[in-house]
Amino acid sequence: MMHVANLDENRDPLLIAEAWMKDGKDVAVATVMETWGSAPRPVGSHLVIDTEGNFEGSVSGGCVEGAVVAEAMDVLDSGKATMLEFGVADETAWEVGLSCGGRIKVYVERLG
């Protein structure tokens, strides 16, 4: 059963990841490393993902977030970190959740 997180600024994704790890779960963390143009989440924003597809936090929104979760599952399987880059033309920006044609770099790594 997938859980879609509601964004609550009081819920620190890294603290949630720590709790998940204490429960014996494998956890990946995605971090916004760089942004250009308009990006919905600032550098340093985190999304944490477990092997069941549960996630908390946010690195972007829309299709970008879905792609980051999918990549995180691969990172959990392989143990190999990866750098993702998403660039969106203005006309398609809203469809994937990047307002006004932004670009972002997201680093995804396994914790533990």
CA gap 65, 97 in Å, rounded: 9
pLDDT digits (tens, 9 = 90+) for 75-92: 999 999 999 998 765 555
Kind and range of the H or E element at 34?
A: strand 27-36
Is residue 1 in a domain? no
The pLDDT of residue 40 is: 80
Kind and range of the H or E element at 11?
A: none
Q: What is the pTM of this model?
A: 0.81
- Is the model's pLDDT at 52 over the cut of 50? yes
Is residue 6 in a domain? no
The pLDDT of residue 92 is: 54
Is residue 83 in a domain? yes
Host domain of residue 58: 13-110
Question: What is the mean pLDDT of the segment spanning 53-62?
Answer: 89
Total domains, the chain: 1
Q: How far is CA 92 from the centre of its chain?
A: 20
